[in-house]
Structure 1
Amino acid sequence: MGDIYIYMLIILAGLAITDLVVGVSNDAVNFLNSAIGSKAISFKTIMIIASLGIALGALSSSGMMEVARKGIFNPGEFYFDEIMIIFMAVMITDVLLLDFFNSLGLPTSTTVSIVFELLGAAVCVSLLKIGESETETFLDLGRYIASETAIEIVTGILLSVVIAFTIGALVQFLSRLMLTFNYRKRPAFLAGIFGGLSLTSLYYFIIVKGLKGADLGGLNFIFEYTTNVYTTLGYGFIFWIIFSLIYVYVLKWDIYKLIIILGTFGLAMAFAGNDLVNFIGVPIGAYDAYNIWMDAGAVEGFRMDALGGKLPSQKWLLILAGVVMILTLWFSSKAQAVVKTSVDLARQDSGIERFKANFLSRYLVRYSIMTADGIQRVMPKSATNYISKRFEKVPSLGLVTKNADKPAFDYVRASVNLMVASVLISVATSYKLPLSTTYVTFMVAMGTSLADRAWGTESAVYRIAGVLNVIGGWFFTAFSAFTAAAIFAYIIYLGGFYAIIGLVVLAVVLITRSFIMHKRSQTEQKITDELHKAESKTIQGIIEESSDTVATVFKRSKNMYSKTLEGLINQDLSALKSARKDSKKLGVEVDALRNNIYFFIRNLDEQTIGASKFYIDVLGHLQDISQSLEYISRSSTDHINNNHKSLKFTQIKDLKEIINRIHDIFEESENVFKNKDFIRLESIISKKRELLELVDSKIEKQVKRTKNTDESPKNTTLYFGLLLETRDLMNTTTQVAEQYFTEYDSNQFDTESE
């Protein structure tokens, strides 16, 4: 009998390692986004600092392990085998759920997932016990669930959203009033004061509060001198103010960069201290339960009252978990996608928005503007002018320099993000409250971006929609975690060890599939021809740079057109859906280039302002091409998806002739633009005109067929639509070629004249 539980512990250990990997991939956003977004230090330096923070934070998380053992349910009301069912169901659910969110590139809360998984599995097993009892009813569920603790934890998680957002916005508002966006030119003593306050906060809440519960062996004597809060804070503030002023005035170093370095370290440490329980708390609880059961003689029907008591921490397991977390941080590529979501929503400037506006975001923005206008009318004019002046942006903030990947926000906001999030998480950890680090860091970042007026009229509706999507994902996490853990617990209860093996195999298959798909998408992303914005300031430079983009559009257009019509001819719905997805992606990328026109024009010199018209016209033509391809793919997909009649033999024959001609023309055009051999464009233009004549003849042929034979209305409509859109597609590509040929020829003439 005991061998089965040993196998279960081995499985739990494997799941714990997997959970650490997928969990850190998800939660890396919590402590990396501010440093990465501000670009204060190199990525390698960020990773080293975060790794050191994780290593130290892992040792301070021992007290949090009690939450998994007794924070959600009363272990004394369950037998050992029932406890193992709960723990096994929780770990399988957690691994699958976190991997699902990682694959989507969305940050979710590992704390929410583990809390509701424990709650779901415990409720399921409790109801099964109640169902088997002749005396108990549903009202007795409160005996099994630690209601007060569970409510306290859930309430704390929900309140953290409001608290983190409010405090983040308030601290950022005050910081910006003091330092402004032009903080580099403010008096140095202000930077010293800001540094002193920031470093004092990080020192007390991270080092004193965060590490006080850590098992540091002989170093624990340090904390004997920090029992008096006011004395510790007072002396700490004096020391760090003096340190900051020396740092700024004497050494003339950047205090903001130091705050970001220490803040990243502190936040990584706070993350490990608070969130490690989410990944290994359940397996450690199962290991403790097994030891208690074995010490009691491995008897059946043994109640786990001892699991609710004080148990020694497994320091070696904490160290091992810290090592796995650090390795994952360095080698996980999924973490980068999750970090990108948070940085995009908090960036200072407008640009390409990842999320689409929805009715709720529009409603919130509309009424927020009305509220702001009302407040502005009530406030004294002098106060309004003073605040507005403090929040004036630095003029160069909106410029996009050549080949520059500029910061999403400045050092001041990055410092506040790290400082406030670190303080809030460390306070929660010191009270053994499993606060959601994802909730806190994300909402602090959103609060500071709001206070910094990053959500202007150009971007607010999209940013709020993004925040609502992420928060909605958290609620979805809670519901999914509770439901899936309850279902898995029921399956294990019925099927025993065989059910466990089946669920583990399912988890391995799904995670392996997710890993393969992620690798494949990465490979495709590397080899996929993406469109790049032009950054040159001369007409010759624009021709050179944009020709690569045109070559890419022609290449992708050739593949999409062929895939769509071949899919239509063969009635291959999957190929049609794939082509439609590709056409939408092309449209989004072209729109992104058009949205960058503002910054492109801002960067042009006065002497070369004429280059903008050429580039705008090129992008207009590319947009027309993408719209034609999108129409062709959409109408073809809808036709097959609606189970309409297939094309007739004569229609297929005509289409194949057009496909072959277009394929050759697009391929030749692609090579011309790729090699910048624009002198060959004249012959391509004539070939495209011949193709237009061919398309016109096919249209006339179909008109006669429609008049003289019994044609399907749907087929006829589709066929005419395809031919007409193909003609528009060729007209547009001809215009692109003519535009480049004209400009290149004109440019060559001007060069020779000089």
Structure 2
Amino acid sequence: MDNIYLLMLIAIAVLAVADIVVGVSNDAINFLNSAIGSKAISMRTIMIVASLGIFVGAVFSSGMMEVARKGIFVPGQFYFDEIMMIFMAVMITDILLLDFFNTIGLPTSTTVSIVFNLLGAAVVMSLIKISGTDEHTFADLGSYINTKKAIEIIRGIIMSVFIAFTVGALVQWVSRLIFTFHYEKKIKNFGAIFGGVALTAITYFIFLKGLKGTPYYNDLKDLVEGNELYIIIVSFIIWTLFSFAFQKITKKSVLVVVIAIGTFGLALAFSGNDLVNFIGVPMAAYHSFEAWTNSGLDASVFSMEVLSKKVPAEPLLLFISGAIMVVTLLLSKKARTVAETEISLSRQNDTHEKFEPNVISRGIVKGTSWLADAVNTIIPKATQDRISGSFEKPNVIITKDQSIDAPAFDMIRASVNLMVAGVLIAIATSMKLPLSTTYVTFMVAMGTSFADRAWGKESAVYRVAGVLNVIGGWFGTAIGAFIAAGVVVYLINWNKEVMIPILLLLTIAILIRNYLTHKKSSKTTIDEDSLTYAESSSVQGVIHESAGNIANVVKRGNKIYTNAINGLAKQDLQLLKKNKKQVDKLSQEVDKLRDNIFYFIKNLDESSVSASGFYINILGYLQDMAQSLEYISKVSHKHINNNHKKLKFNQIKELKEVDNKIEILFNDTKAAFDSRSFEQIGAIINEKTEVYDLVKEKIQKQVTRTRTEESSPKNTTLYFGILLETKDLLNATMNLLEEYHNAHDSSVEPAKINTEEE
């Protein structure tokens, strides 16, 4: 029986390694997003600087380890066997929760996760103890849980969301007002002072965050405490002189140094503060096991009062943890997926938005717009114009795809992100609050992007919806952690020998499945039938570039139409469901092409403006085709999914006749566009009459059937719907072909005339 606790300790140690891996993958966003988003330094340099910060922070880890030992519950109220069950439940649920957020690419807080895991497991274990004795009632739960500290932690976390956003927005607004988006000249003149302020703030943060609470702080305590003001003044002078010299010697902006040192500082803070979230519980479990082994008492009677005492961190364990964190940072693909979420929400340019707007985001945007208009009625027009001048962006037109490769924001914003996040975490640390570094850095980034007017009319509802999704995920983390840890500790308490192996195997299976799912979804393989943007600036060029898109739409449309008819004939719900996904994908790709029209027109030569009219018409017809296919696919799926009557044999037979004719028409069209044999279009257009007349004939037959023999209103509605939408599909296809035919003839004719004249 005693061996079960040794096995539990080993399992907790292994889980700790996995927890570090999934935790770093999520929290890497804290210190990577500003450097990656600004592209001020190379990815290789970013990783080297961040790795150094992580390793130094881990080795000089702060004294926050006490949170796992006595910050949430009162250790003296529990026995050794109960504590080990709590710790086991916490580690299992923490890993699964963080890995889930990594897989879906949302940043969450490892601090909130560990706090609510501990709280949930401790509360359920306390309730189990209370229910098994007559001495205590549920009203005595407060004697088991450190409610004062838990409430203090939760309050600090919630307040940090609002404070970080507000302070980040205010500092960024002032910084942009001073430096503007055309900051290169002003940085040359005032960069040394800005660098001095920013680097001083970061240094002050590193001292407070990196040293306070470490075993080495006592040696420096007399030098630091009471001399904070002198440290700030001396740091400012040294860093200002350094910034001036750096700009003069290297001819580069000092902002590069600010971003590099800020990244180092945040990485150091992350590992120093958040290491408790990964190894605090395993270290507490190790010390508990050590104390119990030396006691010689039974596990069910040995009190864990020993955890109330302060125990120094193990330097070797900190060293190993730091090494694991560095390796994870360098190898983890999930870390970059999570970072992409924040960067996309704070990107200055238009981009492909990850989140869909909702009622709340629309309401917030409308309310904010109304408030801004109200404030503008008070501020003098001259002041408004002067402020607006500072926020005037460089006039560079790039597509949404190009914006992904461009810097998400400039170095001014990146510097402010790092500086403000560092200062806020430093203040919280001085107040001994175990703050969530994720919440602070994320909300600072959102505040600075809001102040920088990155959330304009074009993107505000999407960005606000994204922020709400992330914040909602944070609350989900807390609730999920509390409930999951409580359930797991209940199961373990029910039967340790049976449930622990089952839960560990289940954890391994889920981690492997999530890894494979993420690996599959992160592959950026491009389908050979995917639609591409037109980049040519001449009519002739656009004609040839668009030909590939038309061939692909016709090919995919032919398959979608055939699958819809086959699905109805066989009543194959899976085929129709898959078909619906295919047509949704096609519609999204056509919509993306339409979204790109603005950039296409902007990049046209003056002599080729006529290409825009042709391209817009082509996209309109492609969208009409996609909408017709979408309707046919969805009504077919809905009919079978609702278990309505099967179409009659004659109806299926007639639809197959239409499908066969359309297949011939679409195959001929695809062949002409694939080979760029545009002279064949005239002959293909003539085929339309035959197919069109066939569809009209089938409609008339159904009218006759309905009057004499048809007994199902649903069947009649479906049949008419498919045939009428087929007519629209044929019309859109023919309009597209005629547009192409006319444009090709008009673009070729001048070339023939020029040749004849020569």
TM-score (norm 1): 0.93
Q: How does 1:624-635 map to 2 (within 5 A)?
A: 624-635=624-635
**Residue 719 of structure 2 aligns with which residue?**
719
- Shift of residue 17 of structure 1? 2.6
**Residue 384 of structure 1 aligns with which residue?**
384
**Residue 234 of structure 2 aligns with which residue?**
235
- Shift of residue 118 of structure 1? 1.0
**Residue 283 of structure 1 aligns with which residue?**
282
- Shift of residue 672 of structure 1? 4.9
What CA distance in whole angstroms lies between the structure 1 residues aligned with 2:250 and 2:524? 48
Does residue 185 in structure 1 map to residue 163 in structure 2? Answer: no
Distance change (3 Å), C-alpha of 1:326 and 1:677: farther
Name the aligned partner's letter for residue 286 of structure 1: A
2:491–2:499 contact (8 Å) kept in structure 1: yes
**Residue 112 of structure 2 aligns with which residue?**
112
Distance change (3 Å), C-alpha of 1:399 and 1:355: closer
Distance change (3 Å), C-alpha of 1:438 and 1:526: farther
Per-residue deviation, residues 171-192 of structure 1 (Å, max 9, x unmatched): 1011111101110132622222
What CA distance in whole angstroms lies between the structure 1 residues aligned with 2:200 and 2:286? 39
Distance change (3 Å), C-alpha of 1:527 and 1:352: closer
Partner-residue secondary structure (3-state), 1:393: coil
| Range 483-492 or range 341-350, more displaced | 341-350
- Shift of residue 414 of structure 1? 1.5
**Residue 268 of structure 2 aligns with which residue?**
269
1:30–1:438 contact (8 Å) kept in structure 2: yes
What CA distance in whole angstroms lies between the structure 1 residues aligned with 2:431 and 2:628? 60
- Shift of residue 238 of structure 1? 0.4
Partner-residue secondary structure (3-state), 2:738: helix
Name the aligned partner's letter for residue 378 of structure 1: I
Does residue 315 in structure 1 map to residue 307 in structure 2? Answer: no
Task: In structure 2, list runs of 5 or more residues that go unmatched.
Answer: none
1:172–1:448 contact (8 Å) kept in structure 2: yes
Partner-residue secondary structure (3-state), 2:531: coil
2:351–2:404 contact (8 Å) kept in structure 1: no
Q: How does 1:97-108 map to 2 (within 5 A)?
A: 97-108=97-108
2:200–2:239 contact (8 Å) kept in structure 1: yes
**Residue 521 of structure 2 aligns with which residue?**
521
1:273–1:429 contact (8 Å) kept in structure 2: no
Per-residue deviation, residues 60-110 of structure 1 (Å, max 9, x unmatched): 335222211211111111111111111111122122222222232222222
Name the aligned partner's letter for residue 273 of structure 2: N
What CA distance in whole angstroms lies between the structure 1 residues aligned with 2:428 and 2:323? 24
**Residue 344 of structure 1 aligns with which residue?**
344
**Residue 26 of structure 1 aligns with which residue?**
26
What CA distance in whole angstroms lies between the structure 2 residues aligned with 1:215 and 1:688? 84
- Shift of residue 725 of structure 1? 1.6
2:351–2:400 contact (8 Å) kept in structure 1: no
| Range 481-490 or range 449-458, more displaced | 449-458
Per-residue deviation, residues 591-635 of structure 1 (Å, max 9, x unmatched): 232222222222223222222112212221222222222212221
What CA distance in whole angstroms lies between the structure 1 residues aligned with 2:156 and 2:402? 46
- Shift of residue 138 of structure 1? 1.2
Distance change (3 Å), C-alpha of 1:146 and 1:520: same
Task: In structure 1, list runs of 5 or more residues that go unmatched.
Answer: none
Name the aligned partner's letter for residue 491 of structure 2: I
**Residue 293 of structure 1 aligns with which residue?**
292
**Residue 730 of structure 2 aligns with which residue?**
730
1:401–1:535 contact (8 Å) kept in structure 2: no
Does residue 636 in structure 1 map to residue 636 in structure 2? Answer: yes
2:62–2:212 contact (8 Å) kept in structure 1: no
Per-residue deviation, residues 379-425 of structure 1 (Å, max 9, x unmatched): 34443332222222222266779798322221111111122123323
Does residue 415 in structure 1 map to residue 424 in structure 2? Answer: no
- Shift of residue 223 of structure 1? 7.7
What CA distance in whole angstroms lies between the structure 1 residues aligned with 2:619 and 2:439? 40
What CA distance in whole angstroms lies between the structure 1 residues aligned with 2:668 and 2:263? 52
Name the aligned partner's letter for residue 132 of structure 1: G
| Range 197-206 or range 169-178, more displaced | 197-206
Name the aligned partner's letter for residue 735 of structure 1: N
Distance change (3 Å), C-alpha of 1:99 and 1:399: closer
Distance change (3 Å), C-alpha of 1:401 and 1:137: closer
Distance change (3 Å), C-alpha of 1:486 and 1:267: same
Distance change (3 Å), C-alpha of 1:499 and 1:189: same
Partner-residue secondary structure (3-state), 1:63: coil
- Shift of residue 304 of structure 1? 0.7
Name the aligned partner's letter for residue 144 of structure 2: Y
1:113–1:478 contact (8 Å) kept in structure 2: yes
- Shift of residue 161 of structure 1? 0.3
Distance change (3 Å), C-alpha of 1:401 and 1:573: closer
Name the aligned partner's letter for residue 587 of structure 1: S
1:31–1:264 contact (8 Å) kept in structure 2: yes
1:87–1:286 contact (8 Å) kept in structure 2: yes
**Residue 161 of structure 1 aligns with which residue?**
161
Per-residue deviation, residues 202-223 of structure 1 (Å, max 9, x unmatched): 122125532454567xx99678
Partner-residue secondary structure (3-state), 1:186: helix
- Shift of residue 641 of structure 1? 2.0
| Range 25-34 or range 559-568, more displaced | 559-568
2:72–2:149 contact (8 Å) kept in structure 1: yes
What CA distance in whole angstroms lies between the structure 1 residues aligned with 2:661 and 2:523? 31
**Residue 248 of structure 1 aligns with which residue?**
247
Name the aligned partner's letter for residue 117 of structure 1: N
1:93–1:485 contact (8 Å) kept in structure 2: yes
What CA distance in whole angstroms lies between the structure 2 residues aligned with 1:435 and 1:367? 30
Partner-residue secondary structure (3-state), 2:28: helix
Distance change (3 Å), C-alpha of 1:144 and 1:645: same
2:30–2:438 contact (8 Å) kept in structure 1: yes
Distance change (3 Å), C-alpha of 1:208 and 1:274: closer
Distance change (3 Å), C-alpha of 1:557 and 1:171: same
**Residue 393 of structure 2 aligns with which residue?**
393
Partner-residue secondary structure (3-state), 1:253: coil
Q: What is the number of residues matched between the two proteins?
A: 752
Distance change (3 Å), C-alpha of 1:714 and 1:136: same
Partner-residue secondary structure (3-state), 1:107: coil
What CA distance in whole angstroms lies between the structure 1 residues aligned with 2:332 and 2:556? 30
- Shift of residue 431 of structure 1? 5.3
CA RMSD of aligned residues (A): 2.7
Name the aligned partner's letter for residue 570 of structure 1: K
**Residue 454 of structure 1 aligns with which residue?**
454
**Residue 443 of structure 1 aligns with which residue?**
443
1:89–1:488 contact (8 Å) kept in structure 2: yes
What CA distance in whole angstroms lies between the structure 2 residues aligned with 1:237 and 1:445? 25
What CA distance in whole angstroms lies between the structure 1 residues aligned with 2:90 and 2:662? 56
Name the aligned partner's letter for residue 736 of structure 1: L
- Shift of residue 121 of structure 1? 0.8
Distance change (3 Å), C-alpha of 1:418 and 1:544: farther
1:54–1:271 contact (8 Å) kept in structure 2: yes
Name the aligned partner's letter for residue 620 of structure 2: G
1:206–1:423 contact (8 Å) kept in structure 2: no
Distance change (3 Å), C-alpha of 1:549 and 1:715: same
2:187–2:253 contact (8 Å) kept in structure 1: no
- Shift of residue 483 of structure 1? 1.0
Name the aligned partner's letter for residue 259 of structure 1: V
| Range 402-411 or range 262-271, more displaced | 402-411
| Range 729-738 or range 480-489, more displaced | 729-738
Name the aligned partner's letter for residue 128 of structure 1: I
What CA distance in whole angstroms lies between the structure 2 residues aligned with 1:499 and 1:352? 45
1:270–1:426 contact (8 Å) kept in structure 2: no
Name the aligned partner's letter for residue 117 of structure 2: E
Partner-residue secondary structure (3-state), 2:396: helix
**Residue 260 of structure 1 aligns with which residue?**
259
Name the aligned partner's letter for residue 600 of structure 2: F
What CA distance in whole angstroms lies between the structure 2 residues aligned with 1:11 and 1:677? 68
| Range 714-723 or range 601-610, more displaced | 601-610
Distance change (3 Å), C-alpha of 1:563 and 1:14: farther
TM-score (norm 2): 0.93
**Residue 43 of structure 2 aligns with which residue?**
43
**Residue 147 of structure 2 aligns with which residue?**
147
**Residue 425 of structure 1 aligns with which residue?**
425
Name the aligned partner's letter for residue 294 of structure 1: T
- Shift of residue 674 of structure 1? 4.9
**Residue 585 of structure 2 aligns with which residue?**
585
